[in-house]
Amino acid sequence: MNHFLDISEYSAAEIEDILNLAIRLKKEHFSEGNKPLFKGKVLGMIFQKPSLRTRVSFDMAMRHMGGDALYLSPAEIGLGKRETIADVSRVLSGYVQAMMARVFEHEHVVELARWATIPVVNGLSDFSHPCQGMADALTILEKFGSMKGLNVVYVGDGNNVAVSLMQVSLMMGANFIIANPAGYDMPQAAKENGARLAQGDQSRIKYLSDPHEAAKGAHVIYTDTWTSMGQEEETAKREAVFPPYQVNAQLVSEADKDVIVMHCLPAHRNHELTDDVADGPHSVIFPQAHNRLHAQKAVLARLFGVA
């Protein structure tokens, strides 16, 4: 692995390998602690968008493994504005041992990787959120032991989180079902990507409009905010469209009795996800958030070639 930009760029075997390593590193962390395999390595963290989980989980992942992390705010770099992306990439390649970028446009992280001589990690782009997808898969594996044959249901906007969840679910042998309002589908490129990943008898993909139909037999129900960063001008329009897609007690009751409810956070409570579900017995939203730490340790370890 040279970079980690999108889950679908890797084989199912490679993704499974990273997840197995994440499981091992998590167990190690809670027993004797992680070995300092990242000693002498610094992760440069480029942020165009603010984040709680991305910043803290990557920073702590480096610290737990003996390395360090450097936060670079939007004002400090002005990626593609104050300085070209190519120049930023080549400069940082001489200062740090890896880069993580949380950007608006997917092409920006692709461009960073194109010019870098060090590994580049997609911390979020408008197309996909691969580190979130890996943490999601780790959480599902911890609950069910395997993803093969599970029904992973996503309810809401077909955004970057949905894309990565679809990719990792299909690659790990789960069925992926998405229910969204008309006009809020996943991008066509993502659908084509999903069709390729779903080939064969291992996993299936369904695109639905009815969340109640999607919830039938669901082992996982996943949702995200109705309005993502950068879409603020659409808030009123989306607030009028998405209420039927709220994940509430009624929807959860229509799923498998052992269903888990997931959300990548931050959540707008009692909008896309009701309080009683978020804090209820089916919710795994906080273990899911914590698993960002362990999944990202595994990704970085493979990129550094140290585990």
CB neighbourhood size of 94 (10 A)? 8
Do residues 98 and 114 make contact, with C-beta atoms less than 8 angstroms apart?
no
Asked if residue 61 is part of any domain, the answer here is yes
pLDDT reported for residue 231: 74
Longest dimension (CA), the chain: 54
**Residue 302: active-site member:** no
pLDDT reported for residue 85: 95
Q: How far, in whole angstroms, is CA 297 from its chain's centroid? A: 14
For 201-232, what is each residue's pLDDT tens digit? Answer: 678 999 999 999 999 999 999 999 998 777 77
pLDDT band at 277 (very low <50, low <70, confident <90, very high): very high
- How confident is the model over 42-49, as a mean pLDDT? 96
Among 141, 159, 299, CA closest to 229: 159
Cis geometry, peptide bond prior to residue 266 (ω within 30 degrees of 0)? yes
Catalytic, out of 3, 53, 64, 102? 102
List the helix and strand counts (H, then E) for the chain.
13, 9
Indicate which CATH number applies to the domain containing 65: 3.40.50.1370
Q: Are residues 251 and 295 part of one domain?
A: no
Catalytic, out of 126, 157, 224, 256? 224
Model pTM?
0.96
Catalytic, out of 238, 292, 294, 302? 292
Asked if residue 57 is part of any domain, the answer here is yes
**Residue 59: active-site member:** no
Q: Are residues 201 and 174 part of one domain?
A: yes
Catalytic, out of 48, 97, 132, 167? 132
**Tokens at residue 262, please?**
């997931």
The phi-psi region of residue 305 (left if phi > 0; otherwise alpha if psi is between -120 and 50; otherwise beta) is left
**Residue 131: active-site member:** no
**Residue 102: active-site member:** yes
Asked if residue 212 is part of any domain, the answer here is yes
Q: Would you say residue 198 has pLDDT above 80? A: yes
Q: Are residues 30 and 136 part of one domain?
A: no
Range of the domain at 117: 7-129+289-304
Angle at 220 between CA 219 and CA 226, to 5 degrees: 150
For 61-95, what is each residue's pLDDT tens digit? Answer: 999 999 999 999 988 887 878 889 999 999 999 99
Instruction: Provide the domain count of the chain.
Output: 2
**Residue 224: active-site member:** yes
Q: Are residues 296 and 173 part of one domain?
A: no
Q: Does an H or E element contain 207, and which?
A: strand 205-208
Catalytic, out of 3, 53, 64, 129? 129
Q: Which residues does 45 contact at the CB level (< 8 Å), separation at least 6? A: 55, 58, 59, 69, 70, 71, 72, 99, 100, 101, 102, 123
8-state DSSP, 79: B
Whole-number Å distance between alpha carbons of 8 and 163: 10
**Residue 290: active-site member:** no
pLDDT reported for residue 104: 93
Catalytic, out of 53, 246, 264, 302? 264
- E strands, 118-192, where? 120-124, 151-155, 175-179
